Structure 1
Amino acid sequence: MRRFNLFLISFVIIFWAKAQKADSVDFYQPNKVYHFSFVPLPAVASNPANGWMFGLAPSASWYMDDPANTKMSNLVGNLLYTTKKQWIFSSRHNLFLSENKLILMGDWRYFITSQPTFGLGSSTPNEPAQNPNQPLAYWGEQQMDFNLLRFYEAVLKKIGDSPFYLGLGYHLDVHSKIENFLDEDADQDLTLQFAHDAYNISKGFDTDKYSLSGVSFNFIMEKRDMAVSPYEKNFAWIQYKINPEFLGSSQSSSTLLLDYRHYFNLNPKRKRHLIGVWGMGNFLVSGNLPYMNLPSIGWDMFGRSGRGYAQGRFRGENMVYGEAEWRFPLQKEKDTFGATVFVNAASFSGARPESSLGATPQYERLFEKINPGYGLGLRVMINKQKRTTITADYAFGQKGNSGFYLNINETF
């Protein structure tokens, strides 16, 4: 699946955002908010799944208390409408309260949208075809229309004077109005089921609507100097999520998320010159998850994993992901312009060997197949103090997959 955004429009947006630096709000209020900056980045782009997209991708950063002892909070959002009559609303935040005693992590979304899906595992092809591991179902590109309502919020409390936090969260996903179809030019075999429907039927889920509602137990180590664009140190997150039926889940399940990031500074005098590494694992521990809640590329909190592939290109019951990025300035003394070179890789397990479709599907295990990606990007820092950065990346995956990505702040 080729993802394409217009370069010319994207770079116009980058330099427009640079010009908005003077419009950022920067003020001081005792015991309230310090140094609030807001970037109303417009969004104009195009890709095959959404058509033309228009709207706003705003970003805000500020300090909830004295910057001397409180880390910067940040919020990013999307308010988009597409020529395919899709609506995309989202708000994601990391808030550090006074003296970093509490962290609030939120991910709120409402989508009326569509997205291609390709089946489970790391070996799925680009073009739709009969799945050799599940002969009564498709794999390869299949289109999906759906609505998504998401509300994730977690509160974590600092443990003494350490960089460690413990906390609880609540998580709700409701997928509804799900419809599957093939592109008009694809050959359709009416005897085959769509990957989404085949999986959900085999696991006892509805095919048009399902919910996942649960609580999470979270452990975080936060040593980064600045969460939105770190120059040094590291971050770790362990989340164990329990999704019981009595809280509204379609079926009971539990999952484990492991996330680790480390930043190696290469020049103490130019801290923007560094190598960042990111490792992530997302695992189904017990029970069953609905198809769209299975671990998938590009569905992390900020949607940054898997550059080189479309969101949802790979999906499975378990996922392991890794990325390394070299970040460096392009100017001898100033930090306005920078660049990056990156590589990533992901592996997914497929369906467990059980089915009500009259055939026993094969189980693709983790690391049987690895999907790499690589690319390069441009960085434009529009606020040096808060390291607010416009990022533009082009990435390549396997078998003709590629993508252009325009975002606020660093990928990780």
Structure 2
Amino acid sequence: MIKYLISFFVCFILNQNVIYAQIATDIDNSCTPKTIFELFNKKDSILMVKPVKNSFLLVMPVIGFQPATGLNFGAAIQYTFKGRDVLDKYSSTNLGLIFTTKKQLLLNVKNNILLSDNKLYLSGDYRLYVFTQPNYGLGTNNIPKYNKDPDFDITSIEEPMDYNYFKFHQTASWELKKHFYVGGGIELDWYSTIVDTNLDVNNGIYTNHYEYSILYGFNTNEYFVNGLSLNLIYDSRDNQINTRKGWYAKLNYRFNADLFNEQSASNVLYSELRYFLPLDSKKENFVLGIWAYGQFVTKGVVPYLNLPSIGWDQRSRSGEGYTQGLFRGNSLAYFQAELRFPITCNQFLSGTVFTNLTTASNEINNIRLLQYIQPAFGLGLRILIDKATRTNLVLDYAVGNHSKGFYLNAGETF
């Protein structure tokens, strides 16, 4: 599959002039941005010049497949908006409702909102899951190198688990200096009705979740992680929906209190950096993007399901090429580099090539961070669906170590 995708992008890049000429026969030759909706307008359609709009509502059906969810279907709504001032930046809110063939219900609400002339920064992540997801142990040494065991199957290390998950994370930060924000938040996580399918204590069959929970004194059926956080943010991005230049840096230090029998006091540090470098002044969407983040339990212990894990970032975009939750540990670091390039001069089509690296620790087995690193790489196609907000329809295909995946989303990966 991957070789066909590579051939596809090579042909696109080598024949851009041909593509430009073909599209120019049906649309304006000036190469002004065109969305998928405008591309198929009839030539005799009445075209009106409209002022730049301040909002965009996207309703998109969701149909996909992942090992953790099976076949899933539902709907996602993304609302992007900004104030009337030319210096106001775009904000976004997302709502997703998904059902799966594994009898799962996934309700997601996300927000990244700038208010009061960009001086107030709100960021939230709410989830209600009736969920089933395998666990795969701790650390990034749970998958062997491909050349050591080419017949390895990830399903051989799956430990199925059912549970309900409620998440409420909301932060508010205020601008103290241009682009620099300071604030705090409330962060609540509740895992309940946990059923560890493979667990059979009477016959001496244990799972990673059970052994970890018993070792650190957590209830194996239900636990909470509730606390407050301090946030430092630097954000000079020109557009958070589809960034072409600028920096984004964040430090979030979370203080979890010992409030219930099912909760233990702990501190967790989350750090993130994104950098976007324009590569061609004449091609605005020719950009090199860098995304790196780390999450570290710095004091105490957190329950197994709340440990840093791949694919559990706010927008669930990290770790393409691997299933969500495949890599988990006391500490986790992630790095991704992505080259975004134009395919057509009117920005209707663009593409990406990317690679990512993941490493996680396992204190129980003395596995250190960076001791084992799992790589992945992939290709992507972008279809412009809104000019003002620069919102793209995102199609990515990624290959990891003994793993692969196809992804359909709205808005860039980071």
**TM-score (normalised: structure 1):** 0.83
Quote the Cα distance in structure 2 between the aligned partners of 1:189 and 1:316: 28
Quote the Cα distance in structure 2 between the aligned partners of 1:110 and 1:206: 21
**Structure 1 position 248, deviation (Å):** 8.8
Say if 1:111 and 1:148, in contact at 8 Å, map to a contact too: yes
Counterpart position of 1:174: 190
Deviation sequence 1:22-46 (CA, Å, 0-9, x none)? 9xxxx99xxxxx7221111001223
Deviation sequence 1:142-193 (CA, Å, 0-9, x none)? 1111111000000000014x2100001000010111112259xxxx994231
Structure 1 residues 283-322: aligned runs within 5 Å:
283-322=296-335
Is 2:140 the partner of 1:122?
A: yes
**Structure 1 position 20, deviation (Å):** 9.9
1:205 partner SS: coil
Say if 1:59 and 1:75, in contact at 8 Å, map to a contact too: yes
Quote the Cα distance in structure 2 between the aligned partners of 1:328 and 1:101: 32
Counterpart position of 1:367: 370
Quote the Cα distance in structure 2 between the aligned partners of 1:219 and 1:248: 31
Structure 1 residues 201-212: aligned runs within 5 Å:
201-212=214-225
Counterpart position of 1:359: none
Cα RMSD over matched residues? 2.4
Q: List gaps (5 residues or longer) in structure 1.
A: 1-16, 29-33, 127-138, 353-361
Counterpart position of 1:31: none
Amino acid at match of 2:397: Y
**TM-score (normalised: structure 2):** 0.83
Amino acid at match of 1:90: N
Say if 2:198 and 2:205, in contact at 8 Å, map to a contact too: no
1:90 partner SS: strand
Quote the Cα distance in structure 1 between the aligned partners of 2:275 and 2:63: 33
**Gap change, CA 1:274 and 1:35, over 3 Å in 2:** same
Is 2:390 the partner of 1:387?
A: yes
Counterpart position of 1:227: 240
Is 2:379 the partner of 1:376?
A: yes
Amino acid at match of 1:376: L
Say if 2:218 and 2:262, in contact at 8 Å, map to a contact too: no
Counterpart position of 1:253: 266
Quote the Cα distance in structure 2 between the aligned partners of 1:62 and 1:253: 37
**Gap change, CA 1:67 and 1:328, over 3 Å in 2:** farther
Say if 1:21 and 1:382, in contact at 8 Å, map to a contact too: no
Say if 1:56 and 1:80, in contact at 8 Å, map to a contact too: yes
Is 2:180 the partner of 1:164?
A: yes
Counterpart position of 2:357: 345
Q: List gaps (5 residues or longer) in structure 2.
A: 1-34, 41-49, 145-155
Counterpart position of 1:410: 412
1:202 partner SS: helix
Deviation sequence 1:8-64 (CA, Å, 0-9, x none)? xxxxxxxxx944999xxxx99xxxxx722111100122333323212101111001x
Q: 2:251 aligns with which of 212, 232, 238?
A: 238
Say if 1:266 and 1:273, in contact at 8 Å, map to a contact too: yes
Quote the Cα distance in structure 2 between the aligned partners of 1:213 and 1:248: 12
Say if 2:68 and 2:324, in contact at 8 Å, map to a contact too: no
Q: Greater Rg, structure 1 or structure 2? A: 2
